[in-house]
């Protein structure tokens, strides 16, 4: 633009119709410049002005060219609990462009960036592999999975518009000028979040330090609740993950017990574990929207438990492989460097038990790190480790029976002990949920289990009890136990575990932004 002054450029732009006509309406609603250091852009929602007309949702959809049915804004309604003075408040909500974005820290492929100058949390669509972990990490349900594209997409505060002096789509489209963009100090964001100041009946702001300011001249009763508080619904079942967790955990359990088994079983255990973990990882890949880019998933190891899990599983498979290989080498070619082979085999075996444990721990942490009450450390660790133990012991018994090992009785005792552990943990978890405060996530989760999925819930409990009783029965039957007794026992157990994991995903309940009547 050599030789053209800024004024000329402006008038040329105007002549070409490139200056937006709406600018005159919204110019007061966006800041003049970029945020300074220690500051960022934020949505400011004036609740006095929001009427819940939903134009912001539709305007965002049209002005950003979203797919049919895809929306980046939502409208909810808060209702007062006090019968004396009736309170009703509509709430518009989108991405809060948090100071500590959980989507970003959880992403295994670094598909999120927080712009250093604006503070906007941006999603890199072409980097995304569609693992959807961010949809769990974000307490506000902001990143939305787009199944036809196989990736997640989210609000970017129309930062490209802001940089050109244009207002974001929602700001442009609100008929009552309830949404504006403001510049906030990050310190004050932390301060507010630290005090728990955000919006009643919403996720705890301490988790991610959201930037959005909800302002109102009226006092919002702290006991106001979302109008959909009684609405219970199932979350996505993530069936590939159900399979992935059960397969890999059974493999990990096998490596634990396999270390102590005799050599006639060991090679079978190593082989089975090797097959199971690969089956698990294969099934798990089906969960991804774009599995061809799975190789990127180690990138986020510094912050993401998902990346760490991937790395741990790579380590697990790379130790499991030599364990299996050398155990079989011992069997087929016992004459080949017997002591070296034996050492490598047992070393790899121990290493696989260690890496397997790390992988299991990473799996647990993936869920724990979402800060969802239903997926807390105790619940998740108990479930996953319990599955590993019991699966490992049962499969060990099975192998032991097949190879007619003398240690079968020990295996069966192990199964029974594992079963007792699993039952005790499940009962404890259920007890916690049953006795949680009314309308708390744990209580809602329990309610959802029994009211929407009673069959699955019964199958889970029935399966656990039957499997345990069968194990006890086997202890008495001992060596004489026939295989046709073992197979149905194992099947019942698998079904029970599948139901348990299915419930784990579908009946997860956590705090969310206010919703609407459904």
Partner 1 sequence: MIPRILRELVHATDGPLTQKLKRKSAGFGLGQVPLQFAPDSTTDMVCGFCATGCGLRVHMKQGKAVNLTPSPFYPVNKGMACPKGWEALAPLNAPNRATKPMLRQKGKQVPVSWEKASEVFVERFRKIMDLHGRESVAFLSTGQIPTEEMAYLGSFFKFGMGGIHGDGNTRQCMATAATAYKQSFGFDAPPLSYSDLEESDLIILIGSNMVQAHPIMWERVTLNRRNPEIIVVDPRFTETAMAGTKHFAIKPKGDLAFLHALARLLLDRRAVDQRFVHNYTHGFLEYAKFLRKEIDLGNSIEQCGLSRKQLEDLADQIAEGKRTSFWWTMGVNQSHEGVRTAQAIISICLMTGNIGKPGTGPNSITGQCNAMGSRLFSNTTNLLGGHDFLKTEHRKKIADTLRIPIDCIPSQNSLAYDQILEKVRDGKIKGLWVIATNTVHSWTDRNELDSILAKLDFLVVQDMYCDTLTAQKADLVLPAAGWGEKEGTFINSERRIGRIKQVRNPPGQARSDFKIFQTLVHAWGCAKYFERWKNPEDVFLDLQKISYGQPCDITGISGYENLDERGGIQWPFKLGADSSQLEQERRLFANGAFYHPDQKARFIFSSSEPVPEDTDAKFPLVLLSGRGSSSQWHTLTRSNSSSVLQKLSPTKIYVEIHPIDAKELRIQNGERVLLTTRRGEIFAKAVLTESVGIGRVFVPMHFPEVNKLTRTDVDPYSRQPSFKHCAVRLQRDPKLKS
The residues of the shown chain that bind partner 1, judged by CB under 8 A, are 16-23, 25, 49, 51-55, 57-59, 61-65, 68-69, 71, 75, 79, 83, 86, 88-90, 109-110, 124-128, 149, 151, 153, 158, 160-161, 164, 166, 172-177, 227, 230-231, 296, 299, 516-518
- Nearer of residues 26 and 323 to partner 1, judged by Cβ: 26
- Nearer of residues 447 and 460 to partner 1, judged by Cβ: 447
In angstroms, give the least distance from the CB of 152 to partner 1. 11
Q: Which residue has the tokens 């599948």?
A: 498
In angstroms, give the least distance from the CB of 87 to partner 1. 8
- Nearer of residues 89 and 261 to partner 1, judged by Cβ: 89
In this structure, are residues 327 and 266 in contact, taking their beta carbons and an 8 Å threshold? yes
Give dist(CA 179, CA 48) in Å, integer: 11
- Nearer of residues 94 and 158 to partner 1, judged by Cβ: 158
Give dist(CA 43, CA 150) in Å, integer: 28
Q: For the chain, give the number of residues.
A: 518
- Nearer of residues 359 and 513 to partner 1, judged by Cβ: 513
Q: Which residue has the tokens 């709406």?
A: 22
In angstroms, give the least distance from the CB of 34 to partner 1. 17
Largest CA distance in the chain: 97
In angstroms, give the least distance from the CB of 292 to partner 1. 11
Q: Which residue has the tokens 């949920």?
A: 433
**In 10 A of CB 440, how many CB atoms?**
14
First to last CA, the chain: 54
In angstroms, give the least distance from the CB of 118 to partner 1. 16
Token digits of residue 377: 């450390």
Q: Are strands 144-146 and 151-153 parallel, antiparallel or unpaired?
A: antiparallel
Element holding 205 (H helix, E strand): none
In angstroms, give the least distance from the CB of 6 to partner 1. 17
In angstroms, give the least distance from the CB of 100 to partner 1. 22
Give dist(CA 166, CA 22) in Å, integer: 9
- Nearer of residues 59 and 143 to partner 1, judged by Cβ: 59
In angstroms, give the least distance from the CB of 513 to partner 1. 15
Nearest to 319 by CA among 344, 341, 350, 352: 352
Element holding 460 (H helix, E strand): helix 454-477
- Nearer of residues 23 and 188 to partner 1, judged by Cβ: 23
Handedness of CA 289, 291, 296, 301 (dihedral sign): positive
- Nearer of residues 2 and 518 to partner 1, judged by Cβ: 518
What is the secondary structure of 485-513 as a DSSP string? Answer: HHHHHHHHHHHHHHHHHHHHHHT-----S
In angstroms, give the least distance from the CB of 122 to partner 1. 10
- Nearer of residues 153 and 422 to partner 1, judged by Cβ: 153
| Residue 130 Rama label (left phi>0; alpha psi -120 to 50; beta) | left
In angstroms, give the least distance from the CB of 86 to partner 1. 5
Distances (CA, A) of 507 to 79, 96, 226, 329: 25, 26, 19, 46
Distances (CA, A) of 183 to 64, 91, 97, 121: 23, 21, 12, 15
Chain-centre distance for alpha carbon 141: 11
In angstroms, give the least distance from the CB of 374 to partner 1. 21
Q: Which residue has the tokens 């009785």?
A: 409
- Nearer of residues 454 and 478 to partner 1, judged by Cβ: 454
What is the SS3 assignment for 391-435?
Answer: HHHHHHHHHHHHCCCCCHHHHHHHHHHHHHHHHHHHHHHHHHHHC
- Nearer of residues 49 and 190 to partner 1, judged by Cβ: 49
In angstroms, give the least distance from the CB of 95 to partner 1. 14
- Nearer of residues 86 and 332 to partner 1, judged by Cβ: 86
């Amino acid at each position: 633009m050599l030789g053209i002054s800024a004024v000329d450029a402006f008038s040329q732009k105007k002549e070409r119709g490139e200056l937006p006509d709406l600018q005159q309406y919204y110019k007061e609603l966006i800041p003049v410049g970029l945020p300074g250091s220690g500051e960022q852009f934020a949505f400011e929602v004036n609740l006095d002005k929001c009427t819940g007309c939903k134009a912001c949702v539709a305007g965002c959809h049209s002005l950003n060219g979203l797919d049919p049915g895809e929306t980046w804004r939502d409208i909810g309604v808060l209702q007062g609990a006090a019968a004396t003075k009736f309170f009703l408040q509509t709430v518009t909500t989108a991405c809060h462009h948090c100071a500590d974005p959980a989507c970003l820290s959880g992403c295994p492929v670094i598909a999120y960036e927080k712009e250093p100058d604006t503070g906007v949390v941006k999603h890199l669509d072409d980097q995304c592999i569609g693992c959807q972990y961010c949809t769990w990490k974000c307490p506000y349900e902001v990143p939305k999975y787009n199944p036809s594209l196989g990736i997640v997409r989210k609000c970017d505060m129309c930062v490209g518009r802001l940089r050109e002096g244009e207002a974001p789509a929602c700001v442009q489209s609100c008929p009552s000028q309830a949404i504006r963009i403001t510049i906030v100090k990050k310190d004050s964001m932390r301060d507010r979040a630290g005090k728990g100041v955000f919006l009643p009946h919403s996720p705890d702001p301490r988790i991610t330090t959201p930037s959005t300011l909800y302002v109102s001249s009226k006092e919002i009763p702290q006991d106001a609740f979302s109008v959909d508080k009684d609405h219970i619904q199932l979350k996505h079942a993530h069936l590939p993950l159900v399979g992935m967790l059960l397969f890999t955990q059974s493999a990990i359990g096998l490596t634990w017990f396999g270390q102590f088994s005799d050599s006639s079983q060991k090679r079978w255990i190593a082989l089975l574990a090797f097959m199971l973990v690969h089956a698990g990882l294969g099934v798990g890949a089906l969960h991804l929207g774009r599995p061809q880019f799975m190789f990127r998933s180690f990138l986020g190891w510094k912050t993401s438990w998902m990346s760490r899990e991937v790395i741990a599983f790579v380590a697990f498979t790379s130790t499991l492989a030599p364990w299996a290989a050398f155990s079989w080498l011992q069997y087929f070619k016992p004459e080949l460097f017997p002591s070296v082979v034996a050492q490598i085999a047992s070393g790899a075996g121990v290493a696989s038990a260690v890496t397997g444990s790390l992988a299991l721990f990473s799996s647990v942490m993936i869920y724990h790190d979402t800060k969802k009450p239903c997926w807390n450390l105790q619940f998740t660790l108990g479930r996953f480790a319990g599955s590993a133990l019991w699966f490992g012991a049962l499969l060990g018994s099975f192998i032991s029976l097949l190879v007619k090992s003398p240690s079968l009785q020990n295996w069966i005792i192990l199964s029974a002990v594992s079963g007792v552990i699993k039952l005790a943990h499940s009962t404890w978890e259920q007890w916690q949920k049953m006795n949680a405060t009314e309308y708390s996530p744990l209580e809602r989760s329990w309610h959802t289990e029994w009211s929407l999925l009673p069959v699955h819930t019964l199958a889970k409990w029935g399966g656990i009890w039957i499997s345990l009783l069968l194990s006890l029965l086997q202890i008495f039957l001992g060596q004489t136990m026939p295989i046709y007794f073992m197979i149905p026992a194992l099947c019942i157990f698998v079904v029970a575990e599948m139901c348990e994991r299915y419930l784990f995903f579908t009946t997860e309940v956590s705090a969310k932004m206010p919703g609407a009547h459904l």
